[in-house]
A and B are shown apart, each in its own frame.
Chain A
Amino acid sequence: DGGITQSPKYLFRKEGQNVTLSCEQNLNHDAMYWYRQDPGQGLRLIYYSQIVNDFQKGDIAEGYSVSREKKESFPLTVTSAQKNPTAFYLCASSIGRVGNSPLHFGNGTRLTVT
């Protein structure tokens, strides 16, 4: 069964700590994305990657970092510099060039920072 796996489903951290959210896909998709969902604000793009070892900032990249060392994996690190890290984080992928095909989403990670 092909799909996108995000882990863990729920994550709790103390303020000031960095935390890394995992995203793995076995769809053989080239492009991968990280979105953040806040109530009433829809999905906002954090980072995206079109190809291994390449990634670009989205609309709200400040306080986040990513890596794309393998085609299947696109981990997101929420750093202590992110002012409001508590949110629902969604990873997605798409076949081919960014934006030319619908996104496939994982089931998300809810991060709570206290």
Chain B
Amino acid sequence: DQQVKQNSPSLSVQEGRISILNCDYTNSMFDYFLWYKKYPAEGPTFLISISSIKDKNEDGRFTVFLNKSAKHLSLHIVPSQPGDSAVYFCAASARNAGNMLTFGGGTRLMVKP
């Protein structure tokens, strides 16, 4: 029973265009959401996070949107660059579960020059 789902295993985007990565969750107790980026043979690196009291958080080219009623979050990358090509994981945590992170299965983003 996956509580955090990334339904698109891969996404291909042209350089300069917008990349939109989606994530759905089922646990309504989740109140903190994060995105991680992972290159092959490396550990994930933290990208951006959002608390459930917000619906948007922006950091440079990266923006995360949270729709609590739909239990959906998305990561927008604008403009996309070839160096953004990686696997992106969304993760969620809930204070009543000890704040442990639950990860989605990841989406592989390919940005074509």
Contacts and interface: CB of A to CB of B under 8 A. Distances in A.
Interface in B94-108: 98-101, 103-106
A98 interface: yes
Interface size class on chain A is 20 to 34
Interface residues of B, number: 24
A42 B9 contact: no
A13 B71 CA distance: 42
Contacts, number: 59
A103 B103 CA distance: 12
A6 B42 CA distance: 11
A76 interface: no
Contact of B46 (A4, A6, A41, A102): A102
Interface of B: 4, 6, 9, 32, 34, 36, 41-46, 49, 89, 91, 93, 98-101, 103-106
Interface of A: 4, 6, 9, 35, 40-45, 48, 58, 90, 92, 97-100, 102-108, 110
